[in-house]
Structure 1
C-alpha cells in the first residue's frame, strides 16, 4: 500500500515525538505504576531514511520526465520548421510553374527552363525522400521514448503524463501524414512538368519542320525564277555535296544548299575539315528532338540542321548514289571520351527500303555492328517493319528508326537519356548505343553521322 508524502511526514513527526515523551498509563483499581513504553530508535531511523530515499527518487523521476518533455518539445519545433520549408518549396514550385507558362512565346527558352527545373525538382524530391526517412527514424525513436515514459510512471503520477504522451504521439502521426501529402504533391508536380516538357518538344519539332519546308519552298521558287536562258548558259552549277563545296574554296562549317544529280536542291550542314567537306546526315547531343518517328519522317528528314536532326533517307541516297562514299561515325560517352570510325558503304533507294551495305572494315576501326551481307540491311521504323527478326519489331522494341539486322547490335536513333540510364534492362534497350564500342545498351552522350566521297581518305 502506497502512502502520500504528507502522511509519511506526519508519521515521522509523531514517531519523533514518541522518542522524547514516554507514554504513561496508571491502573485505576490496583494503583500500581506500569512500565513506561518507548518507540524503538532504530525503527525511527529506518523509517526516516526510507522516507528520504523515497523523496529523492521522486524528485529525480520528476526531473527526468521534465527533461524528456523538453526534448520532445524541441523536436516538435524542428518538425514545424521542416513543414514550413516544405510549404515554401511548394509555393516556389507553383511560382516556377507560373513563370514557365509566362515564357511560352519562346519555345527554346521554355525547353531549357523545363529541363533544368525537372532536374532540380528530381534532386529536391530525392532529398525530401531522404529527409522523410530520417524523420521516420526520429519519430520512431520518439515513440519508443514516449512508450518507455508511459510504462515507467506509477499510479502516483496520475493520468496527466499519460494523456500528454498520447497527444504528442497523435501530433507526430499527423505531422507524418502532412509530410507524405507534400511529397505526393511534389511527385504530381514533377509529372506535370514532364508532360509539359514533351509538349514543348513536340511543338518545337513541328515549328522546325514547318520552317524547313518553307525554306525549301523558297529555294525551289528562287530556282524556278532563275531558270531563264541567261542562267542556263551560266557555267557555274550548284555543288552536289559538301566536298565539292570544299574543292570550290568553302572552308567554314555551316549550312549550305546542294543539288545532287537528278535531285531537287536542299539545305545541308557541312562539316569542313582540313582533308575535305563532309555532309552531315545525323546529329544527337541534347535530346531536344524526338527520334521515335514514323517512316515518312525518316524518309523526308526532321529536326533542325543547327541542332539535332536526321537529314532524310531520300536525301542521303541522292548524295551517295553518284559514286563511292565513306560513312563516318563519331560518338562520345558521359566521361567525354570519343571515338571515330569510318566504313565504305552503299545505300540503295526506296524500292529496296533504303538497304545499307557496309562494304568492308578498315584497319584500326571497330567491328561494325551493321550487317555486311551482300543484300544489305533495309531500314525499319515502328510502322514499317523490315528487320531480320521474324517474331519481333525491333523499332518498337528499341525505339526510333534504324538498319536493324538484329535488335541488339546498334541504334543511334534510339531514345536519348538526359540523366543516367534507367536500371531496368528493357528500358536501357531503347537508348542510343553502339555495341562494339562501349558494350550493349550503354547510352551514348553524342553521335554524329556524315558522308563524303571515298577520295577524301587519301587526303586524311
Structure 2
C-alpha cells in the first residue's frame, strides 16, 4: 500500500480550500473609477463557479481514496490478528511491521484513528465548498438580474411616467374584490388580471417553487395564479402592479406602481424603479432601481446571504432582505401575541407596519400598453 498519493491529494485540497477561504476573508480593495464590463463580470462568475465545482470533485475523489485506504487497513488488521497467518498482507506498510515480522495492533489502531480524523476534516471542507458553491450560484443569479435590469431600464422609466398619470384612476374598491365570486371577466376587460387573493386562510401558501411557478388554489377564493402565467401575460413589456390591502378594522389601502417581471431564468425577478423602491421601504438600491428575485423555501434567491427568508418567514415572495413585505405569508385569524409568530404573517411594512398581520389582500397586474389601448 502506498499512502503518498493520498496524502498529496489531501495537501492539494487543503491548499486550494485555504486559498479560497483566505480570499473570501480578505478585505475588498477600494473602488476605482473603472467599472468592469458585463463580459468581464460573466467571465469572473463563470470562473468562480468552475473553481467551486472542481474543488468539490477533488474532495469527493479524496474521500473515495481515504475510504479505500481505511478498507485496506481494516483488512490488514484482521489478518494481523489471525494467529495462523504466516506473513503480513502484501500491501501492509513497512512501518507497521517490526523486523521480527509480528504486527503491532496498537500502531495500526493509531493510524486508523488518524485516518478517521482526517476524513472528518475532509467532510468539513466538503461542507464549506458546498456552501461557497451555493453562494457563487446566488451571485451569478444576481449578475443575470442586473443585466436584465439594464436591458429594460428605458422601458421601466417610460412605464413610470405612465403610472403617474394613472394614479388619478381609482381601482375597484377592496370590498368588491375580496368577495369569493367577484367578476374576473370584468377585470380582464379593464386590462387588469387578478394574480393573488388572500381572504380567509383556506389555502396553504407555504408552497415549493414548482407550485408558485404553476399556480395553486381556487380562482373563486384564495389562489395564486402562477409566475409563469403572469410572465406570459406581461411578456417583456413594462407593467403596472396593483396591491390592495385590508386590515382587521375595516381599513383599506390601494397601491399602484410600475414594475417589470423577468422570466424563470431570472427567478421571475420583480424590477422596481428607484422612487418606487424607496417608497416601499427599501434602503439599498442602485440608481436604476431594485431587482427582487422570487424565493421559496426550496429555492433561495433573496438578497440575504446569511438567511433563507422563505424558511424564516413563510410562503413564497420577492423578499429582498426579508423585512419589506410578504403578502403570501401565514394567515392568522387573529393577531398573535408572540413577536416570532407575527414575523410569519401577511404584512406590508409601509402601511400597517412589520408586525401587523393583514386580513385580506388582492394583487392585480396590467401590461403598460393596455392602458393606451383602453
For this structure pair, what is the TM-score category when the shorter chain's length is used for normalisation? 0.3 to 0.5
Q: Which has the higher contact order (CA 8 A, sep 6+)?
A: 2
Structure with higher helix content: 1
Q: TM-score, normalised by structure 1?
A: 0.39
Calculate the TM-score normalised by the size of structure 2: 0.47
